[in-house]
Amino acid sequence: MEISPREAEVLELVGAHLSNAEIAARLCISVRTVESHVSSLLRKLEVPDRRALARRAPESAGADRSHPAPALPAPLTSFVGRVSERTALTELIRAHRQVTAVGPGGVGKTRLALAVAAEAAGEYADGVWFVDLVPVTDPGMIATAVAGALGLGEQPGRDMTESVVAALADRHALLVLDNCEHVVDGVALFLERLLATCPRVTVLATSRARLMVPFERVYPVPPLSLTVDGESDAVALFRERAAAVGWPLDPPLRDQITSICERLDGMALAIELAAARCSTLGLDGINAALSHPLRMLTGGSRTDERHRSVRAALDWSHALLEPADRALLRRVSVFVAPFPAAAAAEVAGSEEGIVADGLARLAEQSLLVVTASPHGTQYRALETIRQYGMERLAEVGDLVDARSRHLRWCLAKAAGLAVVREDWRARFDLVADDLRAALAWAADRPEQRADAYGLARRLAELTFTRNLTGESQGRYEQAAALADGPAATVSMFRQAAAVAGCRTVGDDMYRLHRAAADAARRSGDTAGAAADLATAATTAFRFSSTFVRIPPREEALALITEARELAGDDPAAQAAVALAEAGVLTDAFGAAQGPPGNAVPETVARAERAVELARHTGDPLAESAALDALTCAQSWAGDTFVTAATARRRITLLSSMPISPAGTHELIDALGMVTEAGLGAGDLPGARRWARQLADHPSLAEVGHRATCRLLMVDALAGNVDEVLTGSVRFLDAWRRAGSPARSFLCPAVAGVAMIHGLRDDHDARREWQEVLDQLGTSPEHTYGYGAVFDAMLLLHHGQASEALERMAPEPRQVWKWVTWIWLHWYVALRAEAAVLAGSPDARGCLAEARTIVAGNPVASAIVQRAEALLDGDQESLLATADAFDAAGCRYQSARTMVLAGGDHAERGAAALAGLGLALMTPAPTPTMTSKR
């Protein structure tokens, strides 16, 4: 079958070992669309899995893709000379895993590193990646910059460094980190982690100073050669750049050019700036202009040898500017990212037209780089020039004013980033580095504290919506530290806690709620402190699976006691305390063993009281959390359908909530719960609808294993084989990239996928998924809950009814702790069918008990009705269940019914199974069918 152009693009990126999320980012399409293309390619190329698809990528694409094209900036000018330096540096990166090219600004470190990386690209099977650290002002953001270059996004539960390490763990790649000097400490920490866990990654860094890490191999980048025995590199560069501005030089002028290059100490940047002036000054004019400034600066009192030559070249260039252009260059140096003329005008404090003319003149003199973008013409100062401008700004006493105007511009840009506009992400990305830089400056200045708080809070909001949740949490915590009043401090800590919840970092949620409680108590807000203490206690049990260290129960009880004493008659505090009591005192949140039977009424009563108190507060999020407790309590009471209804109430309550960290966290949790409750009640269409909404949630785009696990459960039980095969590719890829976390909530999905492969008779694939299940760890729920259900379905498919009955030997009342939530009706119904097909003498008793328990569940009731029809030999009743299964969205059970009916029906059933992609069924011996009139 023919592969479409878009499929060819996806295939090429699969061959480059990119994840679905990375492919989606690269092609500007949704992750779901990528999944569809991958599924289509699996069918068209007739390969079993993603690994085989990656191996087919080069031949199917019709070109050699064994070595990805290097992800390096395209050079705008030719690279001249440096033969010996390129050879030496290339040999170093072959022999050492981390090499730092060290030298002063303007010596040509970046161009040399790019040339070496381009030449060496063919030696790295997984490519060469370039990361410009110039915009990075926070040493803690190194991993974020690298992740951006790799096309990675943040994954809840893991910081950016973990994401990068997971992506590069098995890659053979060269990573070029450019301009490390201003974030040396952050780079050093990042490299220690990266190189320790990614054994086939080599790093080539450029910096003005050594990184000072034990595994570093330093290569000092020398100035361009000035020898006159043949054409020197410095002279060749001068000639080439002069010719580019329309001033070709004759060979007899070589001595004059050499003289200029010598006076510029062979510094590439200075030579390029000088050559660019040939068309206006000529060689004699350049020599004249260099005389006084260069001698003065070289012979002055400056002791920083790293800057001597570059400073001389830049001072010379600066001296040629008109006073107004000098001032403009100084002021625009506060921008760390490309900026438009309008922004420069605001920071320069002048009219936009005048500033635009000045920017053009600076660009003509190579002091600014001009780039065209969809948002208009942008300007950028090279880092050495930008730093030079900042120093000049400080020298003339204008630094604080310029940075203050830059801060005001950043505040206005941040305030104007309305997320309702489709292009807001692109507009945010354009200014994000400037927002961060302005905040870093303002945060340390007491007089700017109020603006710094406002910018930190806004940046926290924007980065959350941009799905940079790790940064968002940090910005909210920074805002809490900058807040001028206790109310703002408490609010920021609570927001930070909510973002930590979205990241599934329970320990941080707990810490931040306690920090909010401390801040509230210091301000005299005892009710607020009570609410946060109670919420911290609730978090420890409600989200226990997200903790590294779960607080002891005694610690949580102490928090509740303190909260109860502080709550007074405040409704919100009382509601929070009631919720904590419902969770901690009765273990109502996520205790795998559930409460003892005589504690169920108390559990339900406490949860109902928590719901009632939360409703009176008028806070939908508080009510949703209380409904979560009630959902769990009702499930333990055996009220399957009431449980499902309560779970749906949460969705209705949250559906109209605006986007916020707390609302997002609550909605993601609610979607997972309502999906599982729907499965337990046999509402497969509803469960699939909610699971699909969860899988498509943008906050989970980078964590496909979390996003798709519940959808895989639904599709496995329904028999949606194609959907399981497609979704499992995303699941497994994301799970492995996340470091293969052993999260118990993933187990049912993995067991469901393994069952589907068993139904397909794909033993190799089933074995692979069983191995994944083993890595996740087994539990009583696997033995008696989902594991028993999926194993029984597979055994019954293969006609092994006795084995299925043995797998489900315990009576429901014996294993209720592990089947109550989702699996009770499935367990009871399949157990009854296994008893009938195995010829158990207790079959009728099993049927009678099952009929009572599953009444109202369309799927489980149909399974029980089918088993009873088989026992009675009633074909008409048996065939009626096929329609019931179809109506309930359970295609597999419908096809199974037809096979069990025998005769012509069996042929149609076998065809239906084949259409689903499943192997032939081996039915157990059944009683002779009769038709009742």
Contacts of 162 (CB under 8 A, 6+ apart): 155, 739
**For residue 431, pLDDT beyond 60:** yes
According to DSSP, the residues that pair with 379 across neighbouring strands are: 339, 370
Cβ 184 vs Cβ 216: under 8 Å: no
Instruction: Note the pTM of the prediction, 2 decimals.
Output: 0.77
Side chain identity, residue 123: E
Question: What SS3 state is found at 428?
Answer: helix
What is the model's pLDDT at position 782?
A: 83
Which of 210 and 302 is assigned the larger pLDDT?
210
What is the model's pLDDT at position 293?
A: 33
Confidence of residue 252 (pLDDT cuts 50, 70, 90): low
What is the model's pLDDT at position 927?
A: 56
Contacts of 268 (CB under 8 A, 6+ apart): 106, 107, 108, 111, 223, 224, 237
pLDDT mean over 23-32 = 70
Residue 214 DSSP symbol: T
Tens of pLDDT, residue by residue over 169-179, are 888 999 999 98
What is the model's pLDDT at position 586?
A: 60
The two three-digit tokens of residue 115, written as one number = 């040339």
What is the model's pLDDT at position 593?
A: 40
Side chain identity, residue 758: G
Q: How far apart are CA 785 and CA 771, in angstroms?
A: 19
What is the model's pLDDT at position 537?
A: 94
**How would you class 122 by CB atoms within 10 Å of its CB: exposed for 0-12, middle for 13-18, buried for 19 or more?**
exposed
**How would you class 931 by CB atoms within 10 Å of its CB: exposed for 0-12, middle for 13-18, buried for 19 or more?**
exposed
What is the model's pLDDT at position 585?
A: 63
Which of 202 and 41 is assigned the larger pLDDT?
202
Tens of pLDDT, residue by residue over 45-71, are 888 777 778 777 765 554 344 445 556
Confidence of residue 624 (pLDDT cuts 50, 70, 90): very high
| CA dihedral (421, 425, 427, 431) positive or negative | positive
Which run of H or of E encompasses 176?
strand 173-178
Q: How far apart are CA 856 and CA 308, in angstroms?
A: 84
- Strands of 201-207's sheet in order across: 128-132, 173-178, 201-207, 98-102, 217-220
Nearest to 681 by CA among 889, 835, 832: 889
Which of 279 and 485 is assigned the larger pLDDT?
485
Question: What SS3 state is found at 525?
Answer: coil
pLDDT mean over 470-485 = 94
Cβ 147 vs Cβ 160: under 8 Å: yes
Q: How far apart are CA 262 and CA 298, in angstroms?
A: 13
What is the model's pLDDT at position 195?
A: 93
Contacts of 618 (CB under 8 A, 6+ apart): none
Cβ 502 vs Cβ 661: under 8 Å: yes
The stretches of 443-505 forming alpha helices (DSSP H) are 449-465, 469-482, 486-502
Residue 213 DSSP symbol: -
Tens of pLDDT, residue by residue over 767-807, are 999 999 999 887 788 888 899 999 999 999 999 999 999 99
Residue 365 DSSP symbol: T
Give the least confident one: 275-289, 533-547, 751-765: 275-289
How many other CB atoms are there within 10 angstroms of residue 300's CB atom? Answer: 11
Nearest to 646 by CA among 616, 618, 676, 603: 676
What is the model's pLDDT at position 479?
A: 97
Give the least confident one: 398-407, 423-432, 626-635, 812-821: 812-821
What is the model's pLDDT at position 773?
A: 93
Cβ 710 vs Cβ 672: under 8 Å: yes
Give the least confident one: 216-220, 264-268, 396-400, 841-845: 264-268
Q: What angle do CA 688, 693, 695 make, to 5 degrees?
A: 90
The count of C-alpha atoms lying within 13 angstroms of the C-alpha of 712, restricted to the half-sphere facing its C-beta, is 31
Which run of H or of E encompasses 165?
helix 160-168
Tens of pLDDT, residue by residue over 267-298, are 787 777 778 777 777 777 777 766 533 332 23
Confidence of residue 131 (pLDDT cuts 50, 70, 90): very high
According to DSSP, the residues that pair with 59 across neighbouring strands are: none
Ramachandran angles phi, psi of 45, nearest 5°: -90, -5
The two three-digit tokens of residue 860, written as one number = 């489980």
Span between the terminal Cα atoms of the chain, in Å? 51
Angle between helices 323-332 and 352-364 (to 10 degrees): 90
Nearest to 336 by CA among 491, 132, 526, 527: 132
Give the least confident one: 222-236, 275-289, 297-311, 660-674: 297-311
Residue 930 DSSP symbol: B
Tens of pLDDT, residue by residue over 905-932, are 999 999 999 999 999 998 666 555 554 4
The stretches of 184-226 forming alpha helices (DSSP H) are 184-197
Question: What SS3 state is found at 71?
Answer: strand
Give the least confident one: 131-140, 316-325, 418-427, 584-593: 584-593
Confidence of residue 511 (pLDDT cuts 50, 70, 90): very high
**How would you class 412 by CB atoms within 10 Å of its CB: exposed for 0-12, middle for 13-18, buried for 19 or more?**
exposed
What is the model's pLDDT at position 229?
A: 56
pLDDT mean over 2-19 = 79
The count of C-alpha atoms lying within 13 angstroms of the C-alpha of 417, restricted to the half-sphere facing its C-beta, is 24
Tokens 């194609």 belong to residue: 722
Confidence of residue 332 (pLDDT cuts 50, 70, 90): very high
What is the model's pLDDT at position 28?
A: 62
Cβ 854 vs Cβ 825: under 8 Å: yes
Q: How far apart are CA 321 and CA 293, in angstroms?
A: 14
Side chain identity, residue 118: A
Q: How far apart are CA 840 and CA 802, in angstroms?
A: 9
Cβ 410 vs Cβ 455: under 8 Å: yes
Tens of pLDDT, residue by residue over 588-613, are 554 434 444 446 788 888 889 999 99
Q: How far apart are CA 580 and CA 557, in angstroms?
A: 9
Which of 88 and 294 is assigned the larger pLDDT?
88
Contacts of 580 (CB under 8 A, 6+ apart): 534, 535, 537, 538, 556, 559, 560, 563
Nearest to 163 by CA among 209, 194, 132: 194
Q: How far apart are CA 61 and CA 697, in angstroms?
A: 32
| Percent of the chain topping pLDDT 70 | 90
What is the model's pLDDT at position 892?
A: 96
Cβ 155 vs Cβ 738: under 8 Å: yes
**For residue 846, pLDDT beyond 50:** yes
pLDDT mean over 888-905 = 94
The stretches of 682-703 forming alpha helices (DSSP H) are 684-695
85 to each of 103, 209, 239, 331, 497, how far by Cα in Å? 13, 18, 20, 36, 51
Q: How far apart are CA 813 and CA 724, in angstroms?
A: 32
Confidence of residue 820 (pLDDT cuts 50, 70, 90): confident
What is the model's pLDDT at position 597?
A: 46
**How would you class 51 by CB atoms within 10 Å of its CB: exposed for 0-12, middle for 13-18, buried for 19 or more?**
exposed
**For residue 653, pLDDT beyond 70:** yes
